[in-house]
Amino acid sequence: MGALLERHEIPVENRWTIREMYPSQEDWERDFEATKGLINALTAFMGKVGASADTLRGAVDAELALSRKLSNLYAFAKMQLDEDTRVGEHQALVSRMESLSVAAQEAGAFLVPEIMAIDTAIMSLYLGAGPLADYKQYLHNILRFKPHTLSEKEEALLAMAGEMASAPSTVFEMLNAADMKFPEVEDSKGNKIQLTHGNFIPTMESQDRGLRQAAFRGYYKSYQDHIYSMASLLQSEVKKNQFFSRARNFKSARAAALFENHVPVKVYDQLIEAIHRNLPKLHKYISVRKRMLGLEEMHMYDLYVPLIPSVTKKIDYETAKAQVLESLEPLGEAYVETVKAAFDQGWIDVYENAGKRSGAYSWGTYDSKPYILLNYQETLDSMFTLTHEMGHSMHSYMTHHVQPYLYGHYSIFLAEVASTTNEALLNDYLLKRVKDKAERLHLLNHYLDQFRTTVFRQAMFAEFEREIHEAVETGGALTADGLKILYRGLNEKYYGPDVVIDDEIAIEWARIPHFYYNFYVFQYATGFSAAIALSKAILGKEPGAAERYLEFLGAGRSAYPIEILKAAGADMASGAPVDEALELFGELVEEFDQLTQA
């Protein structure tokens, strides 16, 4: 494999056009200086926010203008750096923006407390006034935090505790990323491989079972060597969440975490209940995997190996674009035309180059194109990454074109719905057209593993997170042995009787950074489930399904996320979308099983 191309060697048509945001450095510097004036314009409202409806609107508008300018400056600086992370000038711009953002945040810290301090009766009058007619959802979202907001001095104390509160996750990251040492393992040909975080999962996908076993045992041995420190850190994280939730008058840490997006706690519980109802379908898939791998005993280190390794078909970028476009046709001509424009008008930075940031993302601002960074590799995964990120970008595009800046962004609870809907449409498109049996099995295996890792596995993480918080909140303690027993039991429940639950998997919780994200992971499972339910309705040509979905894409923050999804056709408060998504999973498992025996 040759050396990576330098940035200037990548064809212009395969690079994004982010310099439309700031054609010259002088343009960026001009906005940077102007932002300082916007900070002053905002601070001029300090102590006056509640004086009148007009003043309240003026203060909010000043904050929005500042936020909008900061967003443009920072996104451009960071995306420019991501093109080639070696460029010192680009590093400097990002550093300057981080400092300016902190200054702006400190300067505007008065706004929300002053809004909350407005007398309830007066605020009711303000909300009925003309100047605030379009600001009701925005203000209601602030005011609902009022019962959980403390006095100025208490809030200052909590803010001061913020740096200490980040200690568990900071120490975990340092221990996990810097201090953790992994052994060398040997494959069947005698080649030595130094295990790392980056190559652990690829090693688990190897056809060499001896290598998988050695890597699995060696990797988790490193965590076992630090298990008491890891347990202590996780307990500290849980106690931190408990402290802040009690300080803010929430019933539990989970209630506090879900309050941010106005998501009822029952949505979390119903996800786990729906997963439990559908575990037999996962057990059936595991049984099929075991049979196809020809194993007398299936172990945890056998779960990631591809079942159809013979399919290595290359998919060039032009082919991927054409197939993605055709797969999106159920969403209507206008949607497809916009995606065509995205391909033709510089939304996408396609190929890897020396110094370019790894991975993929969709990013931009309310005023820019919703740009996409890729590192396209001509694989099936790369094609799915393309449609996934295009889903994000189309969600942003529609939101920006329908909503004012005030509501022109979407909640994190909704963030993975559009991207996963695109993937579901592509899966359906490919499965309907594939003629080769091995290729069809490869596609089904890919799709089923998406379900396994994004819905079942993330729900298991969510259940573990719920259990450890409830244990601490009812006066219990988290010990290394107790955590291992709990985590092992969950693996036994989720993966079923056809897997040997190796002792090492009981340690897996120690390596999962998401357990320091405060009840975040359940949203992967809810987002995926909602997307499958919505895509099923669209593909089934249910009356109004596509139209409701397009309205969902344009809803932004004009309502709460649960309401937005319900209007689109996915009532997450009922648990039905999870059952519906897993009904599809069950159908795919049955087809996969029959094909493998035909």
Domain boundaries, the chain: 7-149, 230-312+416-598
Q: Which of 63, 83, 389, 423 is catalytic?
A: 389
Q: Rounded to whole angstroms, how far apart are CA atoms 491 and 461?
A: 10
Mean pLDDT of 37-46: 97
Q: What percent of the chain has pLDDT over 90?
A: 88
Mean pLDDT, the chain, integer: 94
CB atoms within 10 A of CB 361: 15
| Residue 240, pLDDT score | 96
Q: Rounded to whole angstroms, how far apart are CA atoms 345 and 385?
A: 19
Mean pLDDT of 332-347: 97
| Residue 2, pLDDT score | 58
> b vs e for 430-452, b when ≥16 Cβ sit within 10 Å of the residue's Cβ?
beeeeeeeebbbbbbbbbbbbbb
Mean pLDDT of 122-149: 94
> b vs e for 366-400, b when ≥16 Cβ sit within 10 Å of the residue's Cβ?
bebbbbbbbbbeeebebbbbbbbbbbbbbbbbbbb
| Residue 313, pLDDT score | 81
Q: Is 363 helix (H, G, I), strand (E, B) or coil?
A: strand
With 90 as the cut, is the pLDDT of residue 312 above it? no
With 80 as the cut, is the pLDDT of residue 174 above it? yes
CATH superfamily of 230-312+416-598: Oligoendopeptidase f, C-terminal domain (1.10.1370.20)
Distance between the two ends of the chain, CA-based, in angstroms?
A: 39
Residue pLDDT, tens place only, 417-444: 999 999 999 999 999 999 999 999 999 9
| Residue 502, pLDDT score | 96
Q: How confident is the model at residue 414 (pLDDT cuts 50, 70, 90)?
A: very high
Q: How confident is the model at residue 302 (pLDDT cuts 50, 70, 90)?
A: very high
Mean pLDDT of 340-355: 96
Q: What percent of the chain has pLDDT over 70?
A: 100
Question: Nearest Cα to 391, choosing from 236, 253, 553, 167?
Answer: 553
Q: Rounded to whole angstroms, how far apart are CA atoms 316 and 379?
A: 8
Look up residue 174 and give its two tokens: 């340092």
Write down the architecture of domain 7-149 according to CATH.
Up-down Bundle (1.20)
| Residue 1, pLDDT score | 47
Question: Nearest Cα to 451, choosing from 296, 310, 289?
Answer: 289
Higher per-residue confidence, 42 vs 153: 42
| Residue 598, pLDDT score | 75
Residue pLDDT, tens place only, 545-571: 999 999 999 999 999 999 999 999 999
Active site residue 186: no
Residue pLDDT, tens place only, 362-382: 999 999 999 999 999 998 999
Half-sphere exposure of 472 (CA within 13 A, CB side): 25
Mean pLDDT of 300-305: 95
